[in-house]
């Protein structure tokens, strides 16, 4: 078992809520534009008090999204997959089969109203999830997301990104969220400069790439356990589409 101290690294107690958030998992592949429309509607309903919070797990077909800080030069292969402009923070990223995307629609007015603490909580959630599989995920100053140190003795520094974070907050309700690489095709990341990081010593990895026989179902169980320890209880719900 992973210690509570490790699991809750960086978690702020104010992020927890007594009322459970809905937890929904979509099967198959979900279109990006359709998912964004659902998120927009749900975030508005949460703000209005007409719907509970929602954590939505899904997979997208292969595509690239550019966040609010995306630079044109970082889209290296614009014709490879569909490209979407996204309202989330961050730069270019890839989504596709084998990557667990989790859209996080939480009412931060009930969770501390602290954006920095919220993002740190998302990082802590991913770090705790990875710890379930014996992987040490780490934060890096100046680099958003969660990283794995793969430096070998007498080798130059090499770190790989295993999970990305890109969120938007409107009227204190969050949407967009996180992406955990379980078993995506890592060559698909070569069509972009992921998150604007071009250092040759920094790459992209996944749980399976690290030699771990982790299924999407395994990842989902770990994600839910770790979420509840940081953000509070969840309850099963039907997928919104």
User: Active-site residue numbers?
Assistant: 195
Query: Cβ-count burial of 3 within 10 angstroms (0-12 exposed, 13-18 middle, 19+ buried)?
Result: exposed
What DSSP assignment string belongs to 26-79?
Answer: --S---HHHHHHHHHHHHHHHHHTSS--EEEEE---SEEEE-TT--GGGBS-TT
Q: Count CB atoms within 10 A of the CB of residue 33.
A: 10
The SS3 assignment for 149 reads strand
Query: Given CA atoms 92, 96, 102, 104 in this order, what sign does their dihedral have?
Result: positive
Exposure on the CB side of residue 188, measured as CA atoms within 13 A: 22
User: H or E element: which one contains 122?
Assistant: helix 115-131
Q: What DSSP character marks residue 142? A: T
Which residues, at least 6 apart from 143, have a Cβ–Cβ distance to it below 8 Å? Answer: 161, 195, 197, 202
Give the residue carrying structure tokens 């969770």. Answer: 111
């Amino acid at each position: 078992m992973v210690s509570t101290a490790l699991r809750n690294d960086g978690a702020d107690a104010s992020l927890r809520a007594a009322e459970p958030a809905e937890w929904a998992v979509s099967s198959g592949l979900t279109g990006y534009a359709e998912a964004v429309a659902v998120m927009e509607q749900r975030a508005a309903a949460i703000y209005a008090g007409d719907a509970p919070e929602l954590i939505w797990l899904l997979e997208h077909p292969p595509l690239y999204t550019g966040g609010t800080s995306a630079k044109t030069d970082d889209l290296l292969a614009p014709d490879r997959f569909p490209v979407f402009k996204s309202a989330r923070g961050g730069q270019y990223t890839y989504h596709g089969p084998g990557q667990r995307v989790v859209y996080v629609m939480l009412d931060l007015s009930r969770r501390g109203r602290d954006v920095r603490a919220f993002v740190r909580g998302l990082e802590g959630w991913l770090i705790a999830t990875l710890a379930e599989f014996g992987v040490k995920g780490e934060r890096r100053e100046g680099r958003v997301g969660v990283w794995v140190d793969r430096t070998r003795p007498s080798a130059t520094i090499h770190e790989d990104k295993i999970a990305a974070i890109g969120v938007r907050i409107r009227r204190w309700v969050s949407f967009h969220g996180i992406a955990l690489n379980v078993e995506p095709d890592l060559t698909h990341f070569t069509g972009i400069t992921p998150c604007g990081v071009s250092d040759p010593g920094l790459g992209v990895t996944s749980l399976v790439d690290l030699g771990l026989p982790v299924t999407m179902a395994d990842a989902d169980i770990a994600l839910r356990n770790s979420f509840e320890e940081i953000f509070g209880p969840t309850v099963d719900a039907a997928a919104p589409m």
